[in-house]
Structure 1
Amino acid sequence: MQTMVVPALPDLRQQFGVSTTAVSWVLSAFLLTSAVATGVLGRLGDMFGRRRLLLASLAIFAVGTLLAALSTSIGTLIAARAIQGVGSATFPLAFGIVRDQFPRERVPVAIGLISSTFGIGFAAGLVVPGLIVDALSWQWIFWVGLAVILAALVAVWVFIPESAVRSPGRIDWAGAVLLGGGLVALLLAISEGRTWGWGSAGTLGLLGGAVALLVAFVLVESRLDRPLIDVALLRRRAVLTSHAAALIVGFGMYGAFTMVPALVETPTTAGYGFGASVTEAGLFMVPMAITMLFASPLAGRLGARTGFKLPLVLACVVGAAGFVLFAAAHDHEWTIYLGAAVLGVGVGFAFAALANLVVNAVDARQTGEATGVNTIMRTVGGTLGAQIAATIVASHQVTGLPVPAEVGYTQAFVMSAAAMGVAALAALAGPGHLLGGDRA
């Protein structure tokens, strides 16, 4: 649901008669609220029960999706997407449920399988909507999504028992407001920086406000006995390096998610690209989804034997290789498919390794908040990476044509490859040996 609106944005802009900047909020509103909700709902799941919060999360998601399907104005649709974002914090809750319900030896593979669904869903969200919009209308994107969400809600109700594992406490409203305000300001500055100008008063003001709010959040949380998010966890080397790696991996990987479809849709008259339709562009990402399906569980099995430092380092190296392939050889369709497949292995390994590293480094009662923060770091990194990649591409234009020059894409892919290399260094800085297991 995060990406399903992307192929429909041109249709939405035309139907509602709004600018490109206005319609981009259909995507940004979801991103902003999901980043905040991920950390908050993850912690609430630790406090009140993960099954209960997962049901509540899916119910909110369903309400937002229904409202989106019924929207008759851009304002209503943006509000609906914001509600959807609040209900999208499923991954931290799911990781906690797996840890509570599965035998210890099966947890790494299960977390790896769940992690793979992120990339699979991301790729599906770029392929399926083109078919839906062509055959029906953009509203059906949300009707189809609503059916899947309701099916998931029923499945959770029937098949998942509630866990007795709790981290008692009270709702830290001050922390929630400070964290939410800081993340919204940060992501808004990143999302709009390219449009407003990175040195504009609005962008700099939001960045300054974000820093002030997040510093205040850390100070407040460090003085509470039972905070919303235990910042003391960052003193654990495994947690700190995993969050740093998640930030940098997110920065690098979103370059492919956003740049590859744009590259292949470029008309061949520009001297590169394949003139692909929106649906065809989504198909270029299918190999990534397929390899992720197998790579994430494989990373779980490998990590269970060697520790998850090795899968994370391998993830970064393989991911860098995928971006190098994109940068060096994107003039044939088969090289794009191959690059996507290679990158899928890297991303699949990364998602599984990061989740397992964090889960192994914290107490079971802190699974939701710790994995929630890791997801936030990946989201912030991804937002920043996507915007910087788009800025690099947009800074190079083909003379006489309204399309970017090929060199812009090459530079953006090189940047992503470099980011994955830096992420490998962050992974190597984590505790333990590559073949010797993990220590907190």
Structure 2
Amino acid sequence: MSRTEAAPQATEERTGFSARHVLVLVALLWAVALNPIVSLLSGNAQAQVAIHFHTTQIVWFTQGALLVATFVLPFAVKAAGLYGKKRVLVIVAVFGLVGDLIAALSSNYTMLLVGRAVAGIYGAAAAVAYATARDVFPRRLVGPASALLGGSIGIVALGGPFLSGWLLDTWGFHGALWFMAISTALCVVILAAFVPESPVREEHGRMDWLGGLLLGAGLTAIVYAVGQGQGWGWTSGKFFAYVGGGLLALVAFVLVERRIAHPLFPTSLLKRRQVWAVLLATAVTSAATYAVGTDTQLLALMPRIPTISDGLGWTATHNAWVTSPLSILIIASAVATGVLARRVDTRILLIVGSLLAAVGYGLGSQLHHTAAQLIIMGLVGGPGTGLVLAVAPIMIIEAVSPKEQALANGAQAMLVGIAQVVFTQLTFVLMAQGGKVMQGTQFYKDSGFTNGFWFATAACAAGALLALLIPKPEQLDQAEVGQAASLTV
């Protein structure tokens, strides 16, 4: 960092958290939080949607958007480095708004899925927002701001279930769809109004269209095959054709990236143990915490029908009250993580969080039949979830330079998205074991919910083991911040 950059930065650190910083943080927080808001609303609405449209393919109501986000993400993070992070944030938010409007206005399940798929383009926003935070905040605020962005799921989880309950219990799933559209429209406005453009750019580069198509197509083919595996048969030729084709596309992607001048993801970045170990460990544990939501949401909201369905049959509002202690603990632990990360080895924070989440979900596998039992699960698993989600973006900051930040965040978001789709698909498969289909709707038995919790437990334990592979990171206070951190914002 040059002396001319260091002086303004020192001045900025003395001035503290200005009103302008608050506005930027709120805008970025909303951009990141919109993904879990939509995930929560769609997750809680899926029971109503499945029954309304008489479909056994409800998995694609949530998974279709994730597939599109996975495909688009490499292009979005590359474009952020080439053309500007704010510009990309606004563009993907506009696409998200278009998709939300299509879904809200749909009159059949096919059109609803089309709208959700288009809205999935917005899924790339979080990775770009994390990279933006590193560029526009001074050094001492980068950690707390990043932790709040990572822990935004806790903020959503606290108020979101009550909002979801009010919308679904009053207006049904159409109310949730319209709220998504309104929220995305607000996101477009505040991003355009409050977030400054980052000057951090790739000095020389261009869009790697071939690499992006190979990566996106390969990942999408594999994830789609996992989603259809139960229907096709896990040993069917169609399943292996999609998986094999996807793997071939990924191999071709690696070969292409090694030979072109401006690769989508530099292989040198992914070869560094500090980077790939962080990406792998955080992706597995973060995806597990997201996937377990599928289990708990369907457990709480699916009806109780003797011999058919062992759901608890709660309203969305009642479920909100039951899960509120969990949400409060996620927020508290996320805030604490931003402070602790400046003093404690972030590997320890990730391991502790992963183990707490594993113990919580393990308890949930046996204790999920009453409100009190689910609260007990949340009291243990909540702090673990908050630690995992808040420390992940901080560990990326410690592992890469500012110019690599968008790519690294994109790689993490992509891996989390892939793992989330695969884990969620597997959770649906495990839950369906012993379940029954009635009038075109899949219902689940208690053994299926138990299977889902055990799967999340195993995934979080695996994440803790993977964290042992991470070399000792550079302390957060020693990490280089982006060029725009020296600007007055």
TM over 0.5: yes
CA distance in 2, matches of 1:160, 1:187: 34
Larger displacement relative to structure 2 (191-200 or 308-317) = 191-200
Indicate the residue corresponding to 1:415 in structure 2: 455
Aligned pairs for 1:136-147 (under 5 A) are 136-147=171-182
- Cα offset, 1:359, TM superposition: 2.1
Contact 1:222 1:232 in 2 (8 A): no
Indicate the residue corresponding to 2:348 in structure 1: 310
Contact 2:143 2:476 in 1 (8 A): no
Structure 1 residues 395 and 11: alpha-carbon distance in aligned structure 2, compared to 1, 3 A threshold: closer
Indicate the residue corresponding to 1:8 in structure 2: 45
Indicate the residue corresponding to 1:224 in structure 2: 260
Q: Percent identity?
A: 26
Tell me the amino acid that sits aligned with residue 421 of structure 1.
A
Contact 1:38 1:88 in 2 (8 A): yes
CA distance in 1, matches of 2:406, 2:208: 15
Tell me the amino acid that sits aligned with residue 26 of structure 1.
F
Contact 1:268 1:274 in 2 (8 A): no
Larger displacement relative to structure 2 (96-105 or 266-275) = 266-275
Are 1:393 and 2:434 matched, yes or no? Answer: no
Tell me the amino acid that sits aligned with residue 322 of structure 1.
G
- 1:168-206 deviations in Å (ceiling 9; x for gaps): 310111011111101211221122223322222222211
Contact 1:261 1:282 in 2 (8 A): no
Contact 2:354 2:463 in 1 (8 A): yes
- Cα offset, 1:209, TM superposition: 1.2
Aligned pairs for 1:228-247 (under 5 A) are 228-247=264-283
Tell me the amino acid that sits aligned with residue 44 of structure 2.
P
- 1:125-146 deviations in Å (ceiling 9; x for gaps): 6653443233224333232222
- 1:238-295 deviations in Å (ceiling 9; x for gaps): 2111121133214532442111233344638569764323443454433333222221
CA distance in 1, matches of 2:420, 2:250: 19
- 1:282-311 deviations in Å (ceiling 9; x for gaps): 544333332222212211211121232121
Indicate the residue corresponding to 2:13 in structure 1: none
CA distance in 2, matches of 1:438, 1:320: 32
CA distance in 2, matches of 1:406, 1:11: 20
Structure 1 residues 144 and 274: alpha-carbon distance in aligned structure 2, compared to 1, 3 A threshold: closer
CA distance in 1, matches of 2:113, 2:369: 37
Indicate the residue corresponding to 1:333 in structure 2: 371
Indicate the residue corresponding to 1:348 in structure 2: 386
CA distance in 1, matches of 2:457, 2:352: 14
Q: What's the TM-score, normalizing by structure 1?
A: 0.90
Contact 1:251 1:416 in 2 (8 A): no
Are 1:430 and 2:470 matched, yes or no? Answer: yes
CA distance in 2, matches of 1:198, 1:106: 48
Structure 1 residues 393 and 138: alpha-carbon distance in aligned structure 2, compared to 1, 3 A threshold: closer
Which of 75, 84, 95 is the aligned partner of 1:60? 95
SS at match of 1:162: coil
Indicate the residue corresponding to 1:373 in structure 2: 411
Structure 1 residues 288 and 195: alpha-carbon distance in aligned structure 2, compared to 1, 3 A threshold: farther
Q: What's the TM-score, normalizing by structure 2?
A: 0.81
SS at match of 2:92: helix
User: For structure 1, which runs of at least 5 residues remain unmatched after alignment?
Assistant: none
CA distance in 2, matches of 1:60, 1:260: 30
Structure 1 residues 159 and 434: alpha-carbon distance in aligned structure 2, compared to 1, 3 A threshold: closer
Indicate the residue corresponding to 2:63 in structure 1: 28
Aligned pairs for 1:21-420 (under 5 A) are 21=57, 23-121=58-156, 128-168=163-203, 169-264=205-300, 265=302, 267=304, 274-396=312-434, 404-420=444-460
Flag as ranges the 4+ runs of structure 1 deviating above 4 A: 122-127, 268-273, 402-405, 433-440
Tell me the amino acid that sits aligned with residue 308 of structure 1.
T
CA distance in 2, matches of 1:235, 1:32: 26
- Cα offset, 1:124, TM superposition: 6.0
- Cα offset, 1:318, TM superposition: 0.9
Larger displacement relative to structure 2 (28-37 or 430-439) = 430-439
- Cα offset, 1:29, TM superposition: 1.8
Larger displacement relative to structure 2 (150-159 or 371-380) = 150-159
Structure 1 residues 79 and 262: alpha-carbon distance in aligned structure 2, compared to 1, 3 A threshold: closer
- Cα offset, 1:218, TM superposition: 1.3
Structure 1 residues 3 and 207: alpha-carbon distance in aligned structure 2, compared to 1, 3 A threshold: farther
Q: CA RMSD in A?
A: 2.9
CA distance in 2, matches of 1:35, 1:184: 7
Tell me the amino acid that sits aligned with residue 348 of structure 1.
G
Structure 1 residues 283 and 195: alpha-carbon distance in aligned structure 2, compared to 1, 3 A threshold: farther
Contact 2:211 2:263 in 1 (8 A): yes
Tell me the amino acid that sits aligned with residue 40 of structure 1.
F
Larger displacement relative to structure 2 (86-95 or 135-144) = 135-144
Aligned residue pairs, count: 436
Tell me the amino acid that sits aligned with residue 328 of structure 1.
Q
Structure 1 residues 14 and 321: alpha-carbon distance in aligned structure 2, compared to 1, 3 A threshold: closer
- Cα offset, 1:215, TM superposition: 1.2
Structure 1 residues 335 and 32: alpha-carbon distance in aligned structure 2, compared to 1, 3 A threshold: same
Structure 1 residues 10 and 391: alpha-carbon distance in aligned structure 2, compared to 1, 3 A threshold: closer
SS at match of 1:8: helix
Structure 1 residues 268 and 84: alpha-carbon distance in aligned structure 2, compared to 1, 3 A threshold: closer
Contact 2:101 2:181 in 1 (8 A): yes
- Cα offset, 1:49, TM superposition: 0.8
SS at match of 1:291: helix
CA distance in 1, matches of 2:299, 2:90: 39
Contact 2:202 2:403 in 1 (8 A): yes
User: For structure 2, which runs of at least 5 residues remain unmatched after alignment?
Assistant: 1-37, 437-441, 481-489
